[in-house]
Amino acid sequence: MQTIIAIVGKSESGKTRLIEKLIPEIKKRGRRVGTVKHAPHGMCMDHGGKDSDRHRQAGSDTTVVAAPGEIMMFKRAASDQLDVLAPLFADVDLVLAEGYKRSDRPKIEVFRKAAHDRPLALNSDRIAVVTDDDPSDIPPTVPRFGTAQISELADFIVRFCEKEPAGK
């Protein structure tokens, strides 16, 4: 079973950009990577009137759009919690979940001083911070990475996954 790590931070902190940089670095280390984008306020990637949207509107519980080389799945589920989503990623080693700051999963916080005054007030689930600052709100025991230290962060994540019990 794969490790799930939440990439968290306030809006416009650089979470998506960090994930974009991390994916190829972690894949270079022989790991298969999946991602989840948390959209707590809702979203629809399918445009109204398209066949797949019409399938969903008719009540399909699972709708897959298949094209050469990729698929997109819409699945009705009772929850958007990471534990419910984990089985969808059975074929990967690591899931990077953008958001989910309230989950009990390990978290890497992204904090940019230019975007916000203070980091999030997180509990002990924070395993690292990616920052362009040295905020005093973050305990010195939490590993810190600069925004350009993608290779070092990828190494840290791979080591973390090797130590983490399966399924956490």
**Please, how many CA atoms are within 13 Å of residue 41, restricted to the half-sphere of its CB?**
0
CA distance 14 to 138: 18
| pTM summary value | 0.86
Nearest residue to 35 via CA among 92, 74, 114: 92
Q: What is the pLDDT of residue 22?
A: 97
Q: What is the pLDDT of residue 105?
A: 93
Q: What is the pLDDT of residue 140?
A: 86
CA distance 9 to 101: 8
Query: Six-digit token pair at 122?
Result: 């997180």
Domains of the chain: 3-38+80-163 (3.40.50.300), 49-76 (no CATH)
Query: Six-digit token pair at 29?
Result: 């280390």
Print pLDDT tens along the chain (168 aa). Answer: 689 999 999 989 999 999 999 999 999 999 999 999 887 666 666 667 788 888 888 888 888 888 888 888 888 888 888 888 888 899 999 999 999 998 999 999 999 888 888 888 776 799 999 998 887 778 888 999 999 999 999 999 999 999 876 555
Burial category of 50 from C-beta neighbours within 10 Å (exposed 0-12, middle 13-18, buried 19 and up): exposed
Q: What is the pLDDT of residue 40?
A: 67
Nearest residue to 98 via CA among 26, 161, 166, 4: 4
- Asked whether 118 and 135 are in contact (CB, 8 A), the reply is yes
